[in-house]
Protein backbone atom coordinates (compact mmCIF):
# COMPACT_ATOMS: atom_id res chain seq x y z
CA UNK A 1 0.00 0.00 0.00
CA UNK A 2 1.14 3.58 -0.51
CA UNK A 3 1.70 6.13 2.24
CA UNK A 4 -1.73 7.76 1.95
CA UNK A 5 -3.53 4.42 2.23
CA UNK A 6 -1.45 3.43 5.25
CA UNK A 7 -2.29 6.70 7.00
CA UNK A 8 -6.00 6.46 6.17
CA UNK A 9 -6.23 2.87 7.39
CA UNK A 10 -4.58 3.75 10.69
CA UNK A 11 -6.77 6.83 11.20
CA UNK A 12 -9.85 4.67 10.55
CA UNK A 13 -9.11 2.83 13.80
CA UNK A 14 -9.72 6.09 15.66
CA UNK A 15 -13.39 6.02 14.56
CA UNK A 16 -15.92 5.13 17.23
CA UNK A 17 -19.42 3.77 16.80
CA UNK A 18 -22.32 6.21 16.44
CA UNK A 19 -20.20 9.35 16.20
CA UNK A 20 -20.21 12.46 14.03
CA UNK A 21 -16.90 12.89 12.20
CA UNK A 22 -15.69 15.61 9.85
CA UNK A 23 -13.27 14.64 7.09
CA UNK A 24 -11.12 17.44 5.71
CA UNK A 25 -9.98 17.97 2.14
CA UNK A 26 -7.58 15.55 0.47
CA UNK A 27 -6.04 12.64 2.33
CA UNK A 28 -8.60 12.65 5.19
CA UNK A 29 -11.44 11.78 2.79
CA UNK A 30 -9.75 8.40 2.18
CA UNK A 31 -10.62 7.40 5.74
CA UNK A 32 -14.23 6.81 4.64
CA UNK A 33 -13.04 3.79 2.62
CA UNK A 34 -11.76 1.94 5.67
CA UNK A 35 -14.44 2.19 8.35
CA UNK A 36 -13.96 -0.94 10.48
CA UNK A 37 -16.73 -3.57 10.42
CA UNK A 38 -19.45 -2.94 12.97
CA UNK A 39 -18.71 0.77 13.22
CA UNK A 40 -21.39 3.25 12.15
CA UNK A 41 -20.12 6.78 11.59
CA UNK A 42 -21.85 9.84 10.16
CA UNK A 43 -19.32 11.76 8.07
CA UNK A 44 -19.77 15.53 7.73
CA UNK A 45 -18.19 17.99 5.33
CA UNK A 46 -18.19 21.72 6.04
CA UNK A 47 -19.65 22.60 2.66
CA UNK A 48 -22.95 21.20 3.93
CA UNK A 49 -23.53 17.45 3.90
CA UNK A 50 -23.90 14.86 6.62
CA UNK A 51 -23.94 11.15 5.83
CA UNK A 52 -21.63 10.99 2.84
CA UNK A 53 -19.65 8.02 1.62
CA UNK A 54 -16.64 7.41 -0.60
CA UNK A 55 -16.16 8.54 -4.17
CA UNK A 56 -18.80 6.99 -6.49
CA UNK A 57 -17.89 4.65 -9.36
CA UNK A 58 -16.50 6.34 -12.45
CA UNK A 59 -19.29 7.83 -14.52
CA UNK A 60 -21.68 8.10 -11.56
CA UNK A 61 -20.34 11.41 -10.24
CA UNK A 62 -22.83 14.19 -9.50
CA UNK A 63 -21.36 17.70 -9.89
CA UNK A 64 -23.67 18.93 -7.13
CA UNK A 65 -22.50 16.26 -4.67
CA UNK A 66 -18.94 16.99 -3.58
CA UNK A 67 -16.81 17.37 -0.49
CA UNK A 68 -15.38 20.71 0.62
CA UNK A 69 -12.52 20.34 -1.87
CA UNK A 70 -14.84 19.78 -4.81
CA UNK A 71 -14.11 16.04 -5.15
CA UNK A 72 -17.09 13.79 -5.95
CA UNK A 73 -18.67 11.86 -3.07
CA UNK A 74 -21.69 9.63 -2.72
CA UNK A 75 -24.54 9.95 -0.24
CA UNK A 76 -25.79 7.20 2.04
CA UNK A 77 -29.53 6.63 2.61
CA UNK A 78 -30.76 9.31 4.98
CA UNK A 79 -27.98 11.78 4.10
CA UNK A 80 -28.76 15.42 4.76
CA UNK A 81 -27.60 18.49 2.85
CA UNK A 82 -27.80 21.97 4.35
CA UNK A 83 -26.44 25.50 4.11
CA UNK A 84 -23.13 26.79 5.46
CA UNK A 85 -24.79 28.43 8.46
CA UNK A 86 -26.11 25.05 9.66
CA UNK A 87 -22.83 23.32 8.84
CA UNK A 88 -20.80 25.75 10.93
CA UNK A 89 -23.37 25.69 13.72
CA UNK A 90 -22.57 21.97 14.00
CA UNK A 91 -18.85 22.69 14.04
CA UNK A 92 -18.80 25.75 16.28
CA UNK A 93 -21.45 24.35 18.57
CA UNK A 94 -19.22 21.50 19.69
CA UNK A 95 -21.32 18.76 18.07
CA UNK A 96 -18.47 17.06 16.18
CA UNK A 97 -16.94 14.07 17.94
CA UNK A 98 -13.84 14.18 15.75
CA UNK A 99 -12.29 15.90 12.77
CA UNK A 100 -9.57 14.48 10.52
CA UNK A 101 -7.47 17.17 8.87
CA UNK A 102 -4.40 17.35 6.69
CA UNK A 103 -1.35 19.19 7.95
CA UNK A 104 1.57 21.26 6.73
CA UNK A 105 3.28 21.37 10.12
CA UNK A 106 2.75 20.27 13.71
CA UNK A 107 5.01 21.71 16.39
CA UNK A 108 6.36 20.41 19.70
CA UNK A 109 3.40 21.95 21.54
CA UNK A 110 0.93 20.09 19.33
CA UNK A 111 -0.19 23.16 17.39
CA UNK A 112 -1.24 22.70 13.76
CA UNK A 113 -0.51 24.76 10.65
CA UNK A 114 -2.53 23.59 7.68
CA UNK A 115 -4.10 26.44 5.78
CA UNK A 116 -1.48 28.73 4.27
CA UNK A 117 2.02 28.85 2.84
CA UNK A 118 3.24 32.48 2.76
CA UNK A 119 3.65 33.78 -0.77
CA UNK A 120 1.15 31.37 -2.27
CA UNK A 121 -2.35 32.37 -3.30
CA UNK A 122 -5.02 30.90 -1.03
CA UNK A 123 -8.79 31.39 -1.18
CA UNK A 124 -8.98 31.67 2.60
CA UNK A 125 -8.78 29.63 5.76
CA UNK A 126 -12.00 27.74 5.05
CA UNK A 127 -13.27 25.70 7.97
CA UNK A 128 -9.91 24.64 9.40
CA UNK A 129 -9.82 27.12 12.29
CA UNK A 130 -13.40 26.31 13.34
CA UNK A 131 -12.76 22.57 13.14
CA UNK A 132 -9.61 22.63 15.27
CA UNK A 133 -11.38 24.72 17.90
CA UNK A 134 -14.80 23.07 17.76
CA UNK A 135 -14.28 19.31 17.39
CA UNK A 136 -13.82 17.19 20.50
CA UNK A 137 -10.89 15.30 18.96
CA UNK A 138 -8.57 16.60 16.23
CA UNK A 139 -6.60 13.97 14.32
CA UNK A 140 -4.02 15.18 11.80
CA UNK A 141 -3.34 12.84 8.87
CA UNK A 142 -0.22 13.81 6.94
CA UNK A 143 3.02 12.50 5.53
CA UNK A 144 5.94 12.74 7.92
CA UNK A 145 8.10 14.89 5.66
CA UNK A 146 7.77 17.03 2.54
CA UNK A 147 10.60 17.42 0.04
CA UNK A 148 12.98 15.94 2.59
CA UNK A 149 12.02 18.45 5.29
CA UNK A 150 10.33 17.38 8.55
CA UNK A 151 6.72 18.45 9.01
CA UNK A 152 6.90 17.86 12.76
CA UNK A 153 8.96 20.79 13.95
CA UNK A 154 10.11 22.49 17.19
CA UNK A 155 8.10 25.63 16.39
CA UNK A 156 5.72 26.47 13.57
CA UNK A 157 7.20 28.51 10.75
CA UNK A 158 3.85 28.64 8.95
CA UNK A 159 0.77 30.52 10.20
CA UNK A 160 -0.96 28.47 12.93
CA UNK A 161 -4.49 27.27 12.37
CA UNK A 162 -5.44 27.64 16.03
CA UNK A 163 -3.82 27.86 19.46
CA UNK A 164 -5.45 24.64 20.65
CA UNK A 165 -3.37 21.47 20.93
CA UNK A 166 -4.45 18.72 18.56
CA UNK A 167 -5.25 15.19 19.74
CA UNK A 168 -3.17 12.91 17.53
CA UNK A 169 -0.84 12.89 14.51
CA UNK A 170 -0.84 9.92 12.13
CA UNK A 171 1.87 9.84 9.47
CA UNK A 172 3.34 7.27 7.13
CA UNK A 173 6.04 6.63 9.75
CA UNK A 174 4.39 6.97 13.14
CA UNK A 175 1.52 7.77 15.46
CA UNK A 176 2.41 10.67 17.76
CA UNK A 177 0.35 12.07 20.61
CA UNK A 178 0.90 15.64 21.83
CA UNK A 179 0.81 15.68 25.64
CA UNK A 180 1.53 18.13 28.45
CA UNK A 181 5.07 16.71 28.60
CA UNK A 182 5.71 16.81 24.86
CA UNK A 183 5.24 14.69 21.74
CA UNK A 184 4.82 11.04 22.71
CA UNK A 185 5.78 8.42 20.12
CA UNK A 186 2.98 5.88 20.43
CA UNK A 187 3.41 3.63 17.38
CA UNK A 188 5.70 3.06 14.45
CA UNK A 189 4.67 2.12 10.92
CA UNK A 190 5.26 -1.44 9.68
CA UNK A 191 8.94 -1.97 8.88
CA UNK A 192 9.98 1.40 10.33
CA UNK A 193 12.39 1.68 13.24
CA UNK A 194 12.33 4.20 16.07
CA UNK A 195 15.70 5.54 14.88
CA UNK A 196 14.26 6.22 11.42
CA UNK A 197 11.35 8.12 12.96
CA UNK A 198 13.64 10.19 15.17
CA UNK A 199 15.87 11.04 12.19
CA UNK A 200 12.86 12.22 10.15
CA UNK A 201 11.34 14.32 12.95
CA UNK A 202 12.40 17.90 13.59
CA UNK A 203 11.03 18.11 17.13
CA UNK A 204 12.09 16.06 20.12
CA UNK A 205 9.84 13.16 21.07
CA UNK A 206 9.18 11.21 24.24
CA UNK A 207 9.96 7.52 23.79
CA UNK A 208 8.79 5.25 26.57
CA UNK A 209 9.72 1.59 26.47
CA UNK A 210 9.14 -0.51 23.39
CA UNK A 211 7.19 1.29 20.67
CA UNK A 212 4.68 -1.10 19.08
CA UNK A 213 3.95 -1.41 15.37
CA UNK A 214 0.82 0.45 14.33
CA UNK A 215 -2.29 -1.59 13.54
CA UNK A 216 -4.30 -0.69 10.45
CA UNK A 217 -7.92 -1.16 9.47
CA UNK A 218 -8.68 -3.94 6.98
CA UNK A 219 -9.11 -3.13 3.33
CA UNK A 220 -12.68 -3.26 1.99
CA UNK A 221 -13.87 -6.63 0.75
CA UNK A 222 -12.58 -7.24 -2.75
CA UNK A 223 -9.87 -4.58 -2.51
CA UNK A 224 -6.14 -5.46 -2.53
CA UNK A 225 -4.36 -5.48 0.82
Q: Pick the catalytic residue from 5, 14, 46, 187.
A: 46
Interval 98-124: pLDDT, tens = 999 999 999 999 999 998 777 776 666
pLDDT tens-digit series, residues 13-56 = 999 999 999 999 889 999 999 999 999 999 999 889 999 988 88
Least confident span in 75-84, 120-129, 166-175, 205-214: 120-129
The phi, psi pair for 92, rounded to 5°, reads -75, -20
Position 87 pLDDT exceeds 70: yes
pLDDT at 81 over 90: yes
Residue 215 C-alpha from the chain's centroid: 17
Structure confidence at residue 55 (pLDDT): 86
**8 Å CB contact between 48 and 67:** no
pLDDT score, position 120: 74
The pLDDT of residue 127 = 86
Instruction: State how far the Cα of 16 lies from the Cα of 22, in Å rounded to an integer.
Output: 13
Prediction pTM value = 0.93
Active site residue 46: yes
> What percentage of residues in the chain have a pLDDT greater than 90?
80
Beta bridge partners of 155: none
Position 216 confidence tier, pLDDT thresholds 50, 70, 90:
very high
Indicate if the alpha-carbon torsion angle 95, 164, 138, 158 is positive or negative: positive
Amino acid sequence: MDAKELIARRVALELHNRTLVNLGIGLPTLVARYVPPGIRVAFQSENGILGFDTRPPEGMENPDLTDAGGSPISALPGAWSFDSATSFALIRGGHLDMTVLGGLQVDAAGRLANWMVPGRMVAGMGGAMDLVVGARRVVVAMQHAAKGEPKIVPELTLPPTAARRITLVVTDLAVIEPTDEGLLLRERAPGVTVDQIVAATGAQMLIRGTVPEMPIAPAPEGAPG
